[in-house]
Chain A
Amino acid sequence: MAYWLPIIYVGIMGLALLIYVVLDGYDLGVGMLLPLADEAEKDMMIASIGPFWDANETWIVLGVGVLLIAFPLAHGVILTSLYVPATLMLMGLILRGVAFDLRVKAGDQHKSLWNRAFFVGSLTAAIAQGWMLGAYVSGLRGDTTSLIFSALIGLTLPALYLVLACGWLMMKAEGSLLTKSIAWARGAILPMGLGLLLVSIATPLVSNEIADKWFSFPNALYMAPIPLLSAACYAGIVMLLRDDNGIYRGRGWRLFAATVAICVLATLGLAYSIFPDVIIGQMSIWQAAASVKSLTFTLVGVVLTVPVILVYTVIVYRVFHGKATALSYE
């Protein structure tokens, strides 16, 4: 049990953070796109994420929660090192979370202020998350190389969120907003691809531990499908974006699906790079783990509730399936 429990938990944590990146990713992306739309489109964009954003954001609480439950020693070290970007992310999430509600409830004269707050909050949170991821992957060192690396991911993750958001809007929007989301996707796809490519090249350069894992035979062979499949997904997105008619006829979901696939592949690659450490080169998951009794107690809850959560998440998404309709609180 002492061997398997930390592995199970690190898996759950990875799953929660992956779901978070995909789900909150698209709604953060919608927030970042907001200034590019006109008033009516802004309302429709917000309407498209209205029923979902609360639950989307909960996945990061679960991710950090699992870190706290299962690896209390690492939790303190990681979050203390990431104090500043974590605080900035929190302020961003606070701002956008309340701006979402207040833009319609605070009165018309304040609406543009809250629209801006929603944009600023979304952008801040996305950059801070990228920064945190970069600092984490480079081993929480804080030297110049890792700062540059953090900055690189700090720009790549928002680009990924933008592409996710465009995919989301292609499923949810009609008319001028759909047309715009195609144009936005064309603008965001290259920065995202370039960012991901640079990150893939830079990761083994900043971390010897990761380089050793990827560039030894036969591991390199087993792991080759990850970059190859990612490239294929990317090519698929580029092709889809050349086919406006296909998107108008309802193929927009493929952009979203392909981007999600890239997220899944990147997560697998990352998991392989880091495992079995919880802080690269410093602490393994077994060293950081909480007591077996505590882990077992929570595991009962995890096994019973996570499937239920996934089921009702699907139900809620099905209830609000299809093109977004005007958001009315009446």
Chain B
Amino acid sequence: MDLDPLLLARIQFAANISFHILFPAISIGLGWLLLFFRLRFTVTGDQAWEYAYYFWVKIFALTFAMGVVSGITMSFQFGTNWPGFMERAGNVAGPLLGYEVLTAFFLEASFLGIMLFGKQRVSNRMHLLSAFLVAFGTTLSAFWILSLNSWMHTPTGYRIEDGVVMVESWLAVIFNPSFPYRFIHMLLASLLTCAFLVAGVSAWRALQNVDGPATWKVMKTGVFLAAVLAPLQIFVGDLHGLNTLAHQPAKIAAMEAIWETDAGAPFTVFALPDEAARRNHYAVEIPYAASLILTHKTDGVVQGLNAFAGEHPPVAMVFWSFRVMLAVGGLMLLVSWWGTWQLRGRHTANKPLLRALSLMTFSGWVAVLAGWYVTEIGRQPWIIDGVLRVSDVVADHPGNTVAATLAGYLLLYAFLLVAYIGALRNLSRKPAASLRLIPVTSAASANREA
């Protein structure tokens, strides 16, 4: 059988990055939530917050471990599968990845040990500091990685010498035009993912009757946080879309499946895009809406895919990923507002809400993956937009070798995903420790104990 090494290498990279992103998507936000739980415990002395902290720090550690090991894989794969990328763009990618390891990765990995096992050995103040450093580290990680990723979408601050990218201005490289939008969009996405994760697991615990005071505090934290962040995310997402329109119009054309440049373009709610015929089947459209969203004018001109003949991304994947992201985002808004309305000032909720929340436990993962597919598949056929093609940087391993390692990774990842969710379920099934709650009267005594 003739295996296409490029396609296989792309599938392998897609599988790796899809698996990897699941865990940073949780740990970036969960780090800050843990700091919040710990701070609430320190300020109020309410032991329920400490229980919440120790319950979720276990899940954080597991998530972080999954993220670390799959992240190490990513860093090796640049060399094993995409050597051309480092040869041509190493001057930009190397230092940004290096700064991630130096400033963030060590910080997280070193202080997580204290967060997990430091209870008897360090003061509460040191514990708080560790929780802050870990949360800060995860965010700093995201800063560097998203800076590099954004630069690959909207490269600035460089020149090409003999086919190699040379840096002209580091500030222009790091703070490239799409970076602020992508960074904030991802941070909000991570916080929303965590908000629904903690709310969903708590709701599930309530349904199983293993909840305690801490469970409800956590559920409310998640729901209230989501209620605030969901609309904010829609606003930021819109800004991000406008930025993409300015810099990567081909991606927008694919997201909206607009085949011909059009003034007053409609928004397509549903369609089956057909690349061969270059049109949409069974399209359900809202007239002028795409122009209105993208240009904020009903008769604004939106460039179609015809303007990028042979150079545009695969349309159906991008189109559908985008719609999945929007749908999940909309659902998040509805459920979090419904939940806020029910949970305000109370420690109870009706069954439908609890079921809805527990069904939404991993909704953040779906939205995050869909969002990344939009942005990454939307960049094809480029690895660095307008500078370097994916096909120019792939390693020339035989198709069979790549297929074999791909099969290995897929099996391992499927197994680990099942194990991860299984462990989450196992941890969540135990009756809440906070049911054994001993009231603590003041923060001072809590501090003395810690």
Contacts and interface: CB of A to CB of B under 8 A. Distances in A.
Interface of A: 50-52, 54-55, 57-58, 60-62, 64-70, 72-73, 75-80, 82-84, 86-87, 90-91, 93-95, 97-98, 100-102, 105-107, 110, 290-291, 293-294, 297-298, 301-302, 305-306, 309, 312-313, 316, 319-320, 325, 327-330
Contacts of B78: 68, 75, 79
Contacts of B93: 68
B80 interface: yes
Contacts, number: 222
Interface stretch (B34-42, B83-91, B180-188, B202-210): B83-91
- Number of contact residues on B: which range applies? 35 or more
A273 B365 CA distance: 49
A51 B114 contact: yes
B245 interface: no
Given A75-B79, A79-B79, A290 B90 contact: yes
Contact of B110 (A82, A100, A302, A313): A313
Given A60-B72, A76-B395, A297-B95, 15 more contacts: A51-B114, A58-B68, A61-B75, A68-B93, A75-B78, A80-B397, A83-B395, A87-B405, A101-B61, A290-B90, A294-B94, A305-B103, A316-B113, A320-B117, A329-B57
Contacts of A297: 95, 167, 170
B109 A54 contact: yes
Given A50-B117, A98-B65, A319-B118, A301 B99 contact: yes
B54 to A, nearest CB: 6
Contacts of A62: 101-102, 106
Given A101-B61, A301-B102, A330 B79 contact: no
A294 B167 contact: yes
Given A83-B401, A106-B423, A316-B114, A305 B102 contact: yes
Interface string B265-277: 0000000000000
Interface of B: 54, 57-58, 61-62, 64-66, 68-73, 75-76, 78-80, 83-84, 86-87, 90-95, 97-99, 101-103, 105-114, 116-122, 164, 166-167, 170, 395, 397, 401, 405, 408-409, 412, 416, 419-420, 422-423, 426-427, 433
Contacts of A58: 68, 101, 105-106, 109
Contacts of A77: 83
B109 A93 contact: no
4 closest A-B pairs by CB: A76-B83, A72-B90, A79-B79, A51-B113
Contact of A93 (B69, B113, B116, B121): B69
B106 A55 contact: yes
